[in-house]
Amino acid sequence: MKVGQIQKLKVARISDYGLYLVDEEQNEVLLPNRYVSLSDREGDEKEVFVYHDSEDRLVATTETPTIKAGEVAYLKVVDKSVHGAFLDWGLTGKDLFLPNRNQQGGIIVGRSYLVWLYVDNITGRCVATNKFKAFVDNDIISVKPRQQVDIIVASESPIGYRVIINNRHWGMIYKNQIFRKVAVGDRMTAYIRRITDDNRIDVSLQQEGYAEVQNSAEKLLELVQANRGFLPLNDNSAPEAVMAATQMSKKVFKRSLGVLLKRGDVEVTDEGIKMK
């Protein structure tokens, strides 16, 4: 039974309290009635998330939490006690516990914090921490240049944003390469730009080279179409105007426009870009 994970389990029996589900080793967990439908039958498979409820019983739910074991998420603090804080992780009737020992700095109710979820090896319960040293590092790099990755923004600095890559590594996006609004807690797709000799990882929100231009050209075409076939931009537009309208640098915008012109999708006038 994988606590803190979404998994497929088989319905072993039906009771007054819900469905008892089993894994391949016949370990049982209850799926309460509020997640059960009249069509459920013994032998059916159910995709569920397994965790401990407020009374420390192992239960299953068909709800999808914001975070699972081995992942990072930006979660809101909904309550505190003398033992720690409680976070909203998207499950009804059960908050995620962030013990005092796992807190880095002060925790304030109503604010959101970046946390990692792990399964405690003593209690078997899902626990949060915002001390990442044991879970996120760049000792052994598992990504490569130009690879598409998932990132979450961890913190802001004068030169850019520190991010966590694929729930495993630290990376950096530099502000002079960002053409959209970015905030701590944002989760997005990015691309590995560079890995240095000392295992620092630079990432970009745009693909580089030909692939970036092709993707940006399709985005530009969609913007023109969405604006009733006309966009008030051309080669002479200010970089700030281009970025505000397209979230592209002037350089990428011009290359993308060139692709659309070559394909014959649009034409350019003194007023802007319009569909042919």
pLDDT at 124: 92
- Same-domain status, 219 and 265: yes
Reported confidence tier of residue 243, pLDDT bands at 50, 70, 90: confident
Reported confidence tier of residue 59, pLDDT bands at 50, 70, 90: very high
10: in domain: yes
137: in domain: no
Cα(173)–Cα(159) distance, rounded to whole angstroms?
Answer: 8
Question: Tell me: the pLDDT tens digits for 147-161?
Answer: 999 999 999 999 999
Q: Which residue segment(s) compose the domain that 30 sits in? A: 6-61
- Same-domain status, 156 and 109: no
174: in domain: yes
The CATH number covering residue 15 comes to: 2.40.50.140
Question: How many domains in the chain?
Answer: 4
The answer to whether 49 touches 39, Cβ cutoff 8 Å, is: no
234: in domain: yes
- Same-domain status, 157 and 190: yes
Question: Tell me: the pLDDT tens digits for 82-118?
Answer: 999 999 999 998 999 999 999 998 899 999 999 999 9
The CATH number covering residue 251 comes to: 1.10.10.10
Question: Tell me: the pLDDT tens digits for 228-241?
Answer: 999 999 988 998 89
State percent of the chain over pLDDT 90: 76
pLDDT at 33: 95
Q: Is the pLDDT of residue 208 over 80?
A: no
What is residue 239's three-state secondary structure? helix
Its pTM stands at: 0.76
Which strands, in side-by-side order, build the sheet including 273-275?
230-231, 273-275, 266-268
- Same-domain status, 123 and 86: yes
44: in domain: yes
- Same-domain status, 226 and 270: yes
Neighbouring C-beta atoms of residue 59, cutoff 10 Å: 20
pLDDT at 209: 58
pLDDT at 54: 84
Average of per-residue pLDDT values in the chain: 93
- Same-domain status, 79 and 121: yes
- Same-domain status, 108 and 55: no
33: in domain: yes
Question: Among candidates 178, 173, 270, 179, which has minimal Cα distance to 220?
Answer: 179
| Cα–Cα distances in angstroms (integers) from residue 221 to residues 20, 162, 275, in the given order | 52, 32, 9
140: in domain: no
- Same-domain status, 214 and 184: no
Q: What is the mean pLDDT of residues 190-196?
A: 95
- Same-domain status, 224 and 262: yes
pLDDT at 96: 97
136: in domain: no
- Same-domain status, 114 and 153: no
